[in-house]
Structure formats: C-alpha cells, structure tokens
C-alpha cells in the first residue's frame, strides 16, 4: 500500500514543491521546481545518516544484547534513518560481544528504529598516545583479526592510526576489500596522512579531534586532511570544534559530513553513564571524563542540521552534510537522496527546522518520546 506526503521536497535536482509517493521505496515525485522560501510549507529532506554512534537512551554499543536497538530507536526519533554502530577500544572479548549484537541488529530492524547498516570499528587500532576518550586497549591490527571480526558483523568503516608499524600495508589490504578506512586517534604527521591516503584510506575520524594539529611548519594530520581529503567526518556540536574551524573545513573538504559521536548520555538527564569501560559525566550539554576530556557527545543529527544552518549554510548544503555525503562515502546510491527507487527514508521539518515526521524505509516513526 502506497503513501504520500506534500511539501518542499529536496531532490538531487533541487527543490520541488509537490507530492512524494512511496511504499518501502520512493515511487514518484511530482511537482514544480521552486524556491522553498517562496511559500510556508514544510521541508522534506533525505533521512539523516550517522556513521559514528556509540550510544543513546542510556545504552552503550559495547554492552551488547539489545542495547543497539534502544540506540537505534532514540536516534530515529531525531531524524536518523540509518547509522553505523560504533565500537570503543577494548579487549577482544568486549569487541566480540558488541559485534555479535550488532550483527543481529543489521539483519532485523525493529519498529521505530533506524536501520543499522553495520559497524564503525573506531578501536582498537589506534595510537595509545592519542586515545582521546578511548580506554587504553590500543593495539596493532592484523588482517586475520579484522577478517574474524567481519564474520561477526559487517565492518563498513575502520579507524586506524597509520603511523603504527604494519598499518599502511593493512590499509591497502582493507581498502581492496571495500572497507572504508579512515585516519583517527593518531599522532601521525602530515606525511603519514598523505601516505595513508595513497594506500587507500579515504576519510578522517572526527576531524580536528584526537589527531596532530595544524601548524604552518608542521601541518600535521589536520593539514593532510585539509589539503587532500575528499571526505572527512566532523562533530558539529560547537563544543568539539570551534565554528571558525568548521568553516575552514567546509571550504577545504568538498564532502565533509557530520556525525554525532553520541554516547549513552544522548537523550538523557545529567549524570553518569558508561562509554565502553569508561564512566563519563554528562553536564551542561557535554560529556567528559573525570579529567575534563571530551568523551563523545549528546548531539543528534537534527540539532547538527540546525547548527550548520546557524553557521550560514543553506538548507540544501546542510542536508547533504547530514545525509547524502555519508551515503556516498559508503557507496550507497539508494539512501541519502529523495529520488525514485531510493529507500523511502525521509524527514519532515517545519519552517523552524523542528522535526514533524520521520519515515524509515516507508514506515512512519513514532516521535512521541522525542
């Protein structure tokens, strides 16, 4: 049975004022091209895609069990229609537990839940000298271990520190299998970053955070990203990255896309929560370790969209950075865009960019708990 929705529809060819009809997929879009400021109707955008999600609703991905379902549900109520469940650096047995649960969630999306597309393996293949909020279980990667983990759940993105011995060769091997390898939690130099890109790395994990910074005589990993990257993820909660640095990255990296790096504290009151094996404190909109280190965020992608527009991006550009660019990064042509044949993943926002409806693979999500 088909359904339909009317408003200002953001298509790959621009804004259309009209009707979008859908079942599980978009069947048709009818209407006339329009400047959306010329009327007062709602905005209809592609559903948001978050490639870096640790938790939400008091649950952490590393718990295993049903935690990932609660996480997918809280983010769906904020417009995220698909996501990557993201691990922490941890002992092998903890990662196995998390991936076994994620693997099951990939196969079966629950009602009112975002689609779990797979795993972003953020640890343990990082530099122990640039942990950020990661527990200190960092170690070098081997292809054999990665292949074993892949048997538990689809690994869509893997973060590595390329300066670790053996990692450049692994980057090439993983890239050849289609895994998106990105650089993060690294003390590597500009040259290390360039070498990793030449070996097949394609992105940067939470740009600016937990990597060597930009200096005019030592451009660092940030310099490698700004000079050479096509894609990078960034946390636009306005705590992790100064607005001026966000604007710099927007000018330099064509397909910069936004992630939440959200934790169990997302959607919850102030207090203590778990992030992997760390206890973190939510207070005044941020999440921190006891020493004050930022430890993920409480951001949701609907707020990320509003933050981007507040920084001066037009709505179409901001939409691409919370949806289309992430889909393209994963090579998904059937998500992140409102076009005939794509999944009916979409959000409806009022003129103040507040969510009115979320539709995931053609099913309307209950927003009562948002």
Tens of pLDDT, residue by residue over 191-209, are 999 999 999 999 999 999 9
Q: How confident is the model at residue 276 (pLDDT cuts 50, 70, 90)?
A: confident
Single pTM value for the model: 0.97
Annotated binding site for substrate: 133, 209-210, 217, 240, 294-296
The reported pLDDT for the residue numbered 295 is 85
Residue 369 pLDDT greater than 70, yes or no: no
Query: How does the average pLDDT of the chain come out, rounded?
Result: 96
Is residue 1 pLDDT above 80, yes or no?
A: no
Query: Rounded to an integer, what distance in angstroms lies between the CA atom of residue 321 and that of residue 301?
Result: 10
Residues 116-124: what's their mean pLDDT?
A: 96
Task: Tell me if 233 sits within 8 A of 205, measured CB to CB.
Answer: yes
What is the mean pLDDT of the segment spanning 222-235?
Answer: 98
pLDDT the model gives residue 370: 47
Note the CATH number of domain 47-334: 3.20.20.140
pLDDT tens, residue by residue, 335-367? 999 999 999 999 999 999 999 999 999 999 999
pLDDT at 30: 97
Which whole number is the average pLDDT over 270-295?
Answer: 87
Three-state DSSP state, 256:
strand
Does residue 211 surpass a pLDDT of 50? yes
Residue 106 has which token pair? 């990939």
CB atoms within 10 A of CB 148: 13
What is the mean predicted confidence (pLDDT) over 225-238? 98
Give the residue numbers of the binding site. Answer: 122, 133, 185, 206, 209-210, 217, 240, 294-296
Per-residue pLDDT tens digits for 315-333: 999 999 999 999 999 999 9
pLDDT at 296: 87
Segment 115-135 shows an average pLDDT of 95
Gap between the Cα atoms of 119 and 107, Å rounded: 13
- pLDDT of residue 23 exceeding 90, the answer is yes
Annotated binding site for Zn(2+): 122, 185, 206
Q: Per-residue DSSP letters for 46-108?
A: EPEEEEEE-EETTEEGGG-TTHHHHHHHHHHTTTEEEEEEE--S--HHHHHHHHHHHHHHHH-
314 is catalytic: no
- What would the mean pLDDT of 241-262 be, rounded to a whole number? 98
Can you tell me whether residue 302 is helix, strand or coil?
A: helix
Q: 238: closest CA among 310, 322, 295, 326?
A: 310
Residue 122, pLDDT > 50, answer yes
Q: Tens digits of per-residue pLDDT, 68-114?
A: 999 999 999 999 999 999 999 999 999 999 999 999 999 999 999 99
Q: What is the DSSP track for 161-227?
A: -TTSTTHHHHHHHHHHTT-EEEE-SB---HHHHHHHHHTT--EETTTTTTB----SS--HHHHHHHH
Catalytic residue among 50, 261, 328, 345: 261
């Amino acid at each position: 049975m088909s359904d339909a929705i009317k408003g200002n529809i953001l298509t790959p060819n621009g804004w259309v004022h009209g009707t979008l009809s859908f079942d599980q997929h978009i069947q048709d879009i009818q209407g006339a091209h329009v400047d959306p400021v010329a009327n007062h109707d709602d905005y209809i955008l592609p559903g948001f895609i978050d490639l870096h999600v640790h938790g939400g609703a008091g649950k952490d991905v590393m718990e295993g069990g049903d935690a990932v379902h609660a996480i997918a549900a809280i983010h769906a109520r904020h417009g995220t229609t698909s996501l990557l469940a993201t691990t922490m650096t941890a002992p092998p047995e903890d990662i196995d537990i998390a991936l076994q649960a994620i693997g099951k969630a990939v196969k079966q999306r629950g009602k009112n839940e975002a689609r779990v597309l797979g795993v972003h393996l953020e640890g343990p293949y990082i530099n122990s000298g640039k942990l950020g909020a990661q527990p200190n279980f960092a170690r070098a990667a081997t292809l054999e271990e990665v292949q074993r983990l892949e048997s538990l759940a689809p690994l869509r993105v893997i973060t590595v520190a390329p300066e670790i011995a053996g990692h450049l060769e692994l980057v090439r091997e993983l890239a050849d299998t289609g895994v998106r390898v990105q650089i993060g939690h690294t003390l590597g130099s500009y040259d290390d970053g360039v070498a990793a890109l030449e070996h097949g790395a394609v992105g940067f994990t939470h740009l600016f955070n937990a990597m060597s910074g930009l200096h005019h005589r030592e451009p660092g990993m940030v310099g490698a990203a700004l000079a050479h990257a096509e894609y990078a993820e960034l946390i636009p909660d306005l705590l992790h990255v100064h607005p001026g640095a966000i604007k710099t990255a927007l000018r330099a990296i064509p397909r910069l896309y936004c992630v939440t790096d959200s934790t169990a504290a997302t959607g919850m009151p102030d207090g203590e929560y778990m992030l992997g094996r760390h206890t973190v404190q939510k207070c005044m909109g941020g999440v921190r370790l006891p020493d004050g280190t930022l430890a993920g965020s409480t951001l949701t992608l609907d707020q990320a969209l509003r933050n981007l527009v507040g920084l001066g991006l037009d709505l179409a550009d901001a939409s691409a950075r919370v949806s289309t660019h992430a889909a393209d990064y994963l090579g998904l042509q059937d998500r992140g865009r409102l076009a005939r044949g794509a999944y009916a993943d979409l959000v409806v926002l009022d003129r103040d960019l507040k969510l009115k409806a979320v539709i995931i693979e053609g099913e309307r999500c209950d927003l009562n708990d948002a």
